Amino acid sequence: MTGRPADEEKGMGIKMIEIIEKKKGNTVTNKMRLEFAALSNNESFARMAVAAFITPLNPTLEEMSDVKTAISEAVTNAVLHGYENRNSLEDRICMECMLRGDVLEVEIADRGIGIEDVRLAMEPLYTSKPDQDRSGMGFAFMEAFMDNLEVESEMGCGTLVRMCKKIGISSWIDSEE
């Protein structure tokens, strides 16, 4: 009898599905998780860490700058609003990054005071701290510079910001086609 043994064929089938899924960008291809103290100094640390994480995808300068700005805004919000700029080493921010092919997914979470009205907070120019020279544009920048932004929050429990963006030269080649 000719032909491949059933097990070998099954193995090839699984491999093909893996290749197709990877191409579609559904498979997680890299992951990292950082936890750091909610100090304003750590904003640049977080930004640089994500920049290094996406470097293998060959981001354009604009993509790199967009991602760094979005990360800075989210971390600054956690420090200033979530933890009310207390500068305590006990206050932690957790940042999780994931790559699905050339799509970056980032989650930035704090266990701070939370946001009472997320929809209002996300409105451009809304700030709860106009006296502190805030312009209320943080969420608007995150929305503009990333492909997607979601915010979940509970008063007294904290806030989770989830963002994603397609990275790398293939994103604009694809859109040209």
Ligand X SMILES: Nc1ncnc2c1ncn2[C@@H]1O[C@H](COP(=O)(O)OP(=O)(O)OP(=O)(O)O)[C@@H](O)[C@H]1O
Interface with ligand X, residue 110, by CB under 6 A: yes
In whole angstroms, give the CA distance from residue 51 to residue 68: 7
> Among the options 47, 77, 107, 111, which is catalytic?
77
Q: Which residue has the tokens 């700005």?
A: 69
Q: Binding pattern to Mg ion, positions 63-82, x when CB under 5 A?
A: --------------x-----
Instruction: Rule CB under 6 A: choose which of 101, 102, 139, 163 binds ligand X.
Output: 139
Residue-by-residue DSSP string for 102-151: TEEEEEEEE-SS--S-HHHHTSTT--S-GGGT--S-HHHHHHHHSSEEEE
CB nearer ligand X, residue 27 or residue 140: 140
In angstroms, the Cα distances linking 86 to 45, 78, 150, 171 are 19, 11, 26, 40
Write out the binding residues for ligand X, residues 68-107 only, by CB under 6 A.
73, 77-78, 81-82
Binding positions for Mg ion, rule: CB under 5 A: 77, 138
Binding positions for ligand X, rule: CB under 6 A: 73, 77-78, 81-82, 110, 112-115, 121, 126-129, 134-139, 159
